[in-house]
Each structure stands twice: as structure tokens, then as C-alpha cells.
Amino acid sequence: MIARIAQAALLMTAAAHAAPPLTTIQDVLYKADGTRFNGIVVVGWNSFEAPDTSNITTQSVTVKVTDGNLRVQLVPTTATTPPVYYAVKYNSDGKVQFQETWAVPPSSRPVRVRDVRVANSGAVQADTGSAAPVQESDVSGLVSDLAARPVKGAGFAAGRALFANQQGALEAVAGSPADCVRVDGSAGPCGGGIAGTAFVDGETPAGIVDGNNRAFTLVSAPDPAGSLALYRNGILLKAVQDFALADRAVTFTAAMTPQPGDTLLAGYRVAVDASQTPQPYPEVLCSGTGAATSSASPTSLAVCAVPAGKISAGDRVEIRYDLEHQGTAAEFHFEVVWGATTIAARDAAAGDARLSGRAEAGLHGAGAAVSWQSWGTVLPFAAAAASASDSFTNGINIGFSGQVGAAGGDSLLLRNFTVIRFP
């Protein structure tokens, strides 16, 4: 007898905590022009007691409608005392299109909107002002439309002429109010024009020739683009079939990836503007990722081979690098070598996880004035200046090397390096 009473109590408790029954409203919504509705439907209600005595609190629910398909489950309201109605707002294109009232009957099968729509109930609709705000993703096509529009760049300024930079962002044109703006976004004194054409011959595109790198850079943008004559080991390459050109960037196809020992030469035309003095571009001589070492002996991590004729007296070469120390058992040592001269060297403790540095070489007739600075996770900032007498007339190698302590397990990785020439 006691067991039966306990079972009955458990059943009553389960019934008291059961969720109220729901009716499914499912339909396909169209607009008057025959196209399907896309947007959201916000259904709001005031507090009421469901037919099964469940207490329903004031709230709202937002239902996304895609390609006209609407599906939502709600507590029936036609059997409540007094009758309760749902306030329904249809939102599309970022604004409320129309509103209506629903009275939901109990049903074990899905019902359509026409089965719950109330033509004119006279009831006070629930306040849905507390409903969640409309999200951009809820409005059909809004995210893609916003992505397609131009955005402000870092150099945007109000009240200035604008041009689109390489990323498509809007930048302000620099210049005086009396200048004229050209189609490339540059500005200069009005009245100037194209004075003629300059020819570039025998230029070596900047980039690492290692059998993997396919991206190289020219000093200037060929004008017209079809004037570029690109040679690999003396063989003229074909645009599109062998390489692609975008402004100053040359990208080889996978089948034509330059291999170690290859010689690349470029010739092209550039337009000379009479109103401006041509300014040389900084040139990336080398860039890439380096190797790793776990050896206690000095090991080469990367080499930037600068060819003959690429740099000359008066140029400045900037070297940037970042290293990663993997492990905490051993200290490590790192060097940057200009020809045969060590121009930067640091010893770091086992706790240094990162090391970054910069080095510069100011070229002159007798060699180069060099300087460096570096710092690490624990390693303090340090800088120094010196000189190097290495000749660069026939080209020069810039090397990166490192080693770790005798304690096993640690490694040193050259994450990234870049060598830039400033004319």
C-alpha cells in the first residue's frame, strides 16, 4: 500500500513539472508579388496560465524565415480564461512590414497561419518592445551587401578627395588644395602630363629563389603591363601561362617555380610624369621563413643572396628577423652575418621563448656602416653600431645562424626574416 502511494506521488510530481503541450504553426509565406518572404517574425505575449495550469511569463520569440518557410511551436491560447492572444510582427529589410494577432488552438498536427490569424480581436496586444534587436544576419542579403561596399581606410579624412587603396579601402589623397589628382590617387601641380616613357632593363625581381617561393616583386609597376618581358635562364616567359602580374607583384605558376641557381631578369616600360620627380621604391630583396636547429654547434638557418649590381653606395639595407625558442632546458645563441662580418649577435637564456631584432647597413665606397638592436621575452633590449669592410660590388650574402646549449631537447627556429633595400 505504501509503495502504491509513493508511486502515485511520483506520478503527480512528474505531471506537475511536465512542459505544457505545444501547437506547431507551419506555413510558407509569400509577398504580394509572388516572391517568398525572407526576414524574421517576432511573436510576443503577456503572462498567462496555460490550459494545463503551466505559468507562462511575459516574453517573446524571434523566428527566422528563410525562403518563406515559417515554423514555430507555441502554447495553445484559445482554451485559456480569459482568452490570450499573441502579437506577431513581420520584419524584413530591417523594418517592421506589418503586424497581426494570433489565437493558437490545441492541435497534435501542424496548423497554418490562416488557422491562428485573428482578423480583429479587440484584445490588447503584448508589448514586444523588449524583443531582441534585429541582427544583420537576420536580414536577407544584408551581410553580403555590407561586405561589398567600400570602407574607410586608415588614411580616410573628411573633406578630401578619395581613392581606393590596394585593399579597396577609401583613403584621402595627400597634397595641397591647388594640386590636381591623378587616376592612381597621387597628386601634384596641375598642368603636368606624361613627358615620355622610361625603360627598365636587366632588373632582377626581388624574392627568394629556393624552389618553393613563387612570389617576386619589381621595383616599379610596368606601364603598360604588357611591356613586361620576363626571362628565366634566358628563356622568355609568357604572361598568364607562366606567370601573373599585379601592379609590381609577379607570381609564377606552380610549373614555373624558380629553382635554386636560376637567373631571373625583367625588362619593361614605365611612364614618366613631367610634373613629378620619379621616386624610387623600397625593394624587398629577400623574405621568408627559416630553418630550425637543435645542434650545439653554429648552424645556418637562412641565407639571403644579394646578386651583383642589386645594391650600391648610398643604399640602406634593413634586416628584420624573429626567432622562436622551443623548450626551456637550454640557452641559445644567434648571429646575423654581413658577408664575412658578424653584425649582430645575442646570447639568450633558457627562459627566452622569443627573440626579435633589426639590423641596418648603410652602404658607402669602403663598405658599410652597420647597427643592430634586439630584444627577447626575458632578454633586455640592446643595441650597438660598428662597421663592415666587405665588398658588395659582386653581390653579398646575408646569413642567419644559431645554436642551442648542450642540454638536449630544445630547438631554435627562425620564424621569419625580411631584407629590404632603401635606395
312-321 residue pLDDT tens: 899 999 999 9
Residue 349 contacts residue 360 (beta carbons within 8 Å): no
pLDDT confidence of residue 136: 74
pLDDT confidence of residue 139: 78
* Average pLDDT over the chain, rounded to an integer: 85
pLDDT confidence of residue 84: 87
pLDDT confidence of residue 17: 57
Q: How far apart are CA 76 and CA 108, in angstroms?
A: 11
Whether 312 and 215 map to the same domain: the answer is no
pLDDT confidence of residue 363: 94
pLDDT digits (tens, 9 = 90+) for 255-301: 999 998 888 999 998 876 555 555 566 888 899 999 999 999 999 99
How are beta strands 229-232 and 215-217 bridged, if at all? unpaired
- Rounded to an integer, the average pLDDT of 45-70 is 90
Whether 49 and 129 map to the same domain: the answer is yes
Number of domains in the chain: 3
The three-class DSSP label of residue 333 is strand
- Which of 246, 279, 312 is the C-terminal boundary of a domain? 279
Instruction: Evaluate whether residue 118 is within a structural domain.
Output: yes
CA 276 to chain CA mean position, Å: 35
At 129, the pLDDT band (50, 70, 90 cuts) reads very low
Lowest mean pLDDT among 4-13, 50-59, 139-148, 156-165: 4-13
Extract the C-alpha cell encoding 371: 647597427
Q: Is the pLDDT of residue 80 over 50?
A: yes
Whether 262 and 349 map to the same domain: the answer is no
Instruction: Evaluate whether residue 85 is within a structural domain.
Output: yes
Q: How far apart are CA 172 and CA 165, in angstroms?
A: 10
Q: How many of the other CB atoms lie within 10 Å of CB of 283?
A: 23
Whether 266 and 295 map to the same domain: the answer is no
Q: Is the pLDDT of residue 162 over 90?
A: no
Extract the C-alpha cell encoding 241: 601561362
Place of cell 578630401: 160
Instruction: Evaluate whether residue 272 is within a structural domain.
Output: yes
Whether 300 and 330 map to the same domain: the answer is yes
- Which of 246, 261, 279 is the C-terminal boundary of a domain? 279
Q: Is the pLDDT of residue 153 over 60?
A: yes
- Rounded to an integer, the average pLDDT of 330-358 is 93
Whether 81 and 134 map to the same domain: the answer is yes
Please report, for the domain that includes residue 357, its CATH number: 2.60.120
Instruction: Evaluate whether residue 367 is within a structural domain.
Output: yes
Residue 235 contacts residue 243 (beta carbons within 8 Å): no
- Rounded to an integer, the average pLDDT of 37-49 is 92
Whether 342 and 411 map to the same domain: the answer is yes
Q: Is the pLDDT of residue 249 over 50?
A: yes
Whether 296 and 400 map to the same domain: the answer is yes
Q: Angle at the Cα of 160 (from 159 to 163), degrees rounded to 5?
A: 140
Q: How far apart are CA 221 and CA 403, in angstroms?
A: 41
Whether 351 and 274 map to the same domain: the answer is no
DSSP lists the bridge partners of residue 76 as: none
Domain that holds residue 110: 12-138
Q: Is the pLDDT of residue 71 over 60?
A: yes
Please report, for the domain that includes residue 44, its CATH number: 2.60.40.3390
Nearest to 317 by CA among 221, 206, 213, 401: 206
Residue 390 contacts residue 413 (beta carbons within 8 Å): no
Q: Is the pLDDT of residue 190 over 80?
A: no
Please give the helix or strand (H or E) that residue 23 lies within, else none.
Answer: strand 23-28
Q: Which residues contact 103 (CB under 8 A, 6 or more apart)?
A: 77, 78, 83, 84, 85, 86, 116, 118, 121
DSSP for 230-284, please give it: EEETTEEPPBTTTEEEETTEEEE-GGG---TT--EEEEEEEEEETTS---PPPEE
Whether 356 and 300 map to the same domain: the answer is yes
Please give the helix or strand (H or E) that residue 16 lies within, else none.
Answer: helix 2-17
Q: How far apart are CA 92 and CA 63, in angstroms?
A: 12
pLDDT confidence of residue 119: 78
Phi, psi of 266 (to 5 degrees): -130, 145
Q: How far apart are CA 333 and CA 319, in angstroms?
A: 18
Instruction: Evaluate whether residue 17 is within a structural domain.
Output: yes
Q: How far apart are CA 255 and CA 240, in angstroms?
A: 12
Nearest to 332 by CA among 288, 304, 301, 305: 301
pLDDT confidence of residue 137: 72
Cis bond upstream, residue 106 (ω within 30) = no
Whether 247 and 305 map to the same domain: the answer is no
Instruction: Evaluate whether residue 189 is within a structural domain.
Output: no
- Which of 99, 120, 138 is the C-terminal boundary of a domain? 138
Please give the helix or strand (H or E) that residue 126 lies within, else none.
Answer: none
Phi, psi of 92 (to 5 degrees): -145, 150
CA 221 to chain CA mean position, Å: 25
Q: Which residues contact 256 (CB under 8 A, 6 or more apart)?
A: 232, 237, 242, 243
Residue 323 contacts residue 410 (beta carbons within 8 Å): no
Q: How many of the other CB atoms lie within 10 Å of CB of 344?
A: 25
Whether 26 and 107 map to the same domain: the answer is yes
Instruction: Evaluate whether residue 379 is within a structural domain.
Output: yes
pLDDT confidence of residue 166: 79
Residue 379 contacts residue 348 (beta carbons within 8 Å): yes
pLDDT digits (tens, 9 = 90+) for 361-385: 999 989 999 999 999 999 999 999 9
pLDDT digits (tens, 9 = 90+) for 53-65: 888 999 999 999 9
pLDDT confidence of residue 194: 45
